[in-house]
Amino acid sequence: MQYDLNHHIEITAQAAGAVIFNEQNEVLLVKEMLGSKKGLWHIPSGSVEKDEFPVNTAEREVKEETGLTLTLNHYLNTYVGRFDDGELVLRHVWFSTYPTDQAVLPSFSDEIDCARFFSREEVIALCKEKKLRMHHTMLMIEDGFAFIHQKRLNKEQTWCISP
């Protein structure tokens, strides 16, 4: 039985964000402006604040970093990572499509240099050039592409009911 503390890992640091795709299956990334992350691309995301649910964090961070107001309904995955100091972090990610009735306008101009859409090939090139913020960024984006592929497969399936 796994009732004692030896079977559990305390992870207090959490982050949340979203992979956002447009109709051309391009993913929206933001370019960081601060510290060791300066010049690197990542999905819109940030730290979960006290008494905040991760999905609300993801929606807030998307709004702050891209100007988009989204309701995130498609949970994608949670990734376990480690900060440079060794502390573990849970990174929660949701999938969303780009709402074409809204413009991408980052409101945190002191943190985010710009936001733009990238094709899968461009993201792979950014990864090879080490211009993505972290390895998880690529995993999150790949999971987003897999989600799109699965949705497409589900739409192609047709069901016939005989009378």
Per-residue pLDDT tens for 22-77? 999 999 999 998 888 899 999 999 999 999 999 999 999 999 999 999 999 999 99
Stated as kind and residue range, the H or E segment containing 158 is none
pLDDT in tens, 141-157: 999 999 998 887 777 65
Q: CA-to-CA distance for 141 and 147, rounded, in angstroms? A: 10
Domain boundaries, the chain: 5-150
| 5-150 CATH fold | Nucleoside Triphosphate Pyrophosphohydrolase (3.90.79)
Tell whether the model's pLDDT for residue 120 goes beyond 90: yes
Give pLDDT, residue 105.
86
Stated as kind and residue range, the H or E segment containing 21 is strand 13-21
Give pLDDT, residue 160.
46
Give pLDDT, residue 90.
96
Give pLDDT, residue 132.
97
The DSSP annotation for 60-100 comes to: HHHHHHH-------EEEEEEEEE-TTS-EEEEEEEEEE--T
